[in-house]
Amino acid sequence: MDKKNVVLLSESNFAFKNGITQGLKNKGINVINLSLGLTPALQNLYELIRNYQILKNADLIITSSNINDTLFYNSLELFSKSYQIINWLHKELYFLNKKILCFLFPNPQKWHNIQCSKLVYALHKKLINKYGFNIIDLNEYYLKKNLYDFIRRDEAHGFDFVMRKIGEKIANNIENFSLPRKIDIQNDNPNFIALNVKEMKNIDENNFKNKTSWLCQEEIYELKNELKFKSIYHNNIILGVHTWNNQDNSEIEIKNDIGNFNRNLNHSFSFFFDTYNRNIKITKNTTILSKNNPVGFVGLLLASTEGNYHNENIDFKALIKENIEIEKKYNFNHLIPPIEWYKEIIDEYCSIMDPIKLASLQNQINTLKTQLSNSQANSAKARIQNQLSYKLGQAMIENSKSILGYIRMPYVLSYIKDKHKQEQKIYQEKIKKDPSLKLPPLESYPDYNEALKFKEHLSYKLGEALIKANNNWYRGGYIKLWFEIRRIKKEFKNKKA
């Protein structure tokens, strides 16, 4: 019996290799993962166009984008662009005439516009119902089961073991998913082109190199010189740009007859972004160039000017209020494992074990505080060991020694962070009342130079990376964190060797 082919077309919820991908593989499924973290529906459309034949050979296509559709179009004005793209994507999926399974993920992030989140969710569900796509609505499930306060990986991603179980159940039900409805429509989308950088003018063959992560591999072009477009691409509109940047503080610029488009690229991973400007039409004078540092450039998504750009007025209130009932044959929420039961187990375990585990941690903190109190007059070491970076890193190392430790880690790290914040607040209140209690600068301690070595410890480096990721979540901080932890551990391993 031939292996079934499943294509994943999504955001970072599908990018973790021990999640849905592993669940499908556990059941003998051949998985082609085209997902890319921190990307909205436009990236799904881009991957669909440039991997069209792969999708045509799939037995099942699993897609999702609602979380990042909210993140990147986080206002009513920008939602009009999201409305356009989501409509385009669903129509292109429909005309593949393949089994489509759509995920709608819970979206509790506090930084999201709630109204936009509801609009994106409603639009996806409306189009899923219209075209007859299969659906797993985790958002609905979380609402019904009151699970929105269930602490997950980082407010945006579910636990791997939950997604892995869902993947296994999907694998067992591939024959049960339905093909799209038969409806009498024409594809009035614009003509899309996934343009690879190799198809552009002024290419320097020496500037190509391969970039590989555990999920994907790309041939990138180190953009140093200006690139122009061949005449066959003139009059197309540039919708989005695919980069795999080499360094922070780079900038890509698109110049054409009506003005310039600039985008800062403060990241060093594969990324696809919307230009947000539907007037960037390619002419003979249009160029793409880098500013500041070279840019790792992969390709572009283009669209013809002809076609439905969905410029109709959107009735926001009606869209949100529309009651959409999914037919039973398309509704696969029964494949969702008992997450509320998992939560109950985790909560019960944590309620019993956290006081025990945290007692040891609290003793360490109290010891450090005592050491700091006793030696602050002449010890920089104690000061550095009491910094948040060091404490977080110590906890990361300690809790990475077991599976249960990994489950507990978010709780422990949150506890340490809150405790540290509380301590700092108390300290600030004390020195406000009595300025003489203010600790002297670290540089003034006799052991300062020796204490600096603590900042090179594995625990300090890990904690520092975690804080940086948390402060830069909107620039892919959590995605970069995984790679940064691997780099730090490898660096320390090589030092020991």
Q: What is the CATH number of the domain that holds 231?
A: 2.60.120
State whether residue 85 is helix, strand or coil: helix
Contact criterion met (CB below 8 Å) for 248 and 296? no
Domain, as residue range, for 368? 340-496
Tokens of 441: 């600068």
Pairing of strands 30-33, 5-9: parallel
d(CA 323, CA 126) in angstroms, rounded, equals 9
Q: Which of 257, 308, 314 minimizes the C-alpha distance to 286? A: 257
Number of domains the chain contains: 3
Residue 286 and residue 424 share a domain: no
What are the E-state strand segments in 10-144?
A: 30-33, 60-63, 100-104, 134-137
Residue 425 and residue 491 share a domain: yes
The answer to whether residue 143 is domain-embedded is: yes
Residue 161 and residue 112 share a domain: yes
The answer to whether residue 308 is domain-embedded is: no
Number of residues written out for the chain: 497
State whether residue 166 is helix, strand or coil: helix
For 75, which DSSP code?
A: S
* Model pLDDT, residue 157: 78
Residue 77 and residue 26 share a domain: yes
Mind listing the pLDDT tens digit of every residue in the chain (497 residues)?
A: 589 999 999 988 898 888 999 999 999 999 999 998 888 999 999 999 999 999 999 999 999 999 999 988 988 889 999 999 999 999 999 999 999 999 999 886 665 788 999 999 999 999 999 999 999 999 999 999 988 877 566 667 788 899 999 999 999 999 999 999 999 999 999 999 999 999 999 999 999 999 887 667 899 999 988 999 999 999 999 999 999 886 667 889 999 887 788 888 766 678 899 999 998 999 999 999 998 888 999 999 999 999 999 999 999 999 999 999 999 999 999 999 999 999 888 888 888 877 777 776 677 666 656 655 555 545 788 888 888 888 888 888 887 776 666 666 777 787 888 888 888 888 888 888 888 878 888 888 888 888 888 888 888 888 888 888 777 654 555 556 766 777 788 777 777 65
Residue 99 and residue 154 share a domain: yes
Residue 349 and residue 330 share a domain: no
The answer to whether residue 231 is domain-embedded is: yes
The answer to whether residue 43 is domain-embedded is: yes
Pairing of strands 192-196, 295-303: antiparallel
Would the CA dihedral through 149, 151, 154, 159 be positive or negative? negative
DSSP result, 440-480: PPGGGSTTHHHHGGGGGSHHHHHHHHHHHHHHTGGGTHHHH
* Model pLDDT, residue 479: 59
Q: Which of 61, 24, 33, 332 minimizes the C-alpha distance to 172? A: 24
Scored b (16 or more CB within 10 A) or e, 162-193 reads bbbbbbbbbbeebeebeebeeeeeeeebbebb
DSSP result, 376-440: TTT-HHHHHHTSHHHHHHHHHHHHTTSHHHHHHHHHHHHHHHHHHHHHHHHHHHHHHH-GGGSPP
Residue 229 and residue 149 share a domain: no
d(CA 438, CA 301) in angstroms, rounded, equals 57
Residue 489 and residue 390 share a domain: yes
The answer to whether residue 215 is domain-embedded is: yes
Tokens of 61: 């296509």
For 137, which DSSP code?
A: E
pLDDT digits (tens, 9 = 90+) for 43-78: 999 999 999 999 999 999 999 999 999 988 988 889
Residue 120 and residue 11 share a domain: yes
The answer to whether residue 310 is domain-embedded is: no
* Model pLDDT, residue 348: 87
Contact criterion met (CB below 8 Å) for 234 and 284? yes
Cα radius of gyration (the chain): 26
Residue 198 and residue 94 share a domain: no
We report the CATH number of the domain holding residue 98 as: 3.40.50.1110
Residue 366 and residue 221 share a domain: no
pLDDT digits (tens, 9 = 90+) for 133-151: 999 999 999 999 988 877 5
* Model pLDDT, residue 198: 95
Q: Which of 485, 341, 11 minimizes the C-alpha distance to 19? A: 11
Residue 345 and residue 330 share a domain: no
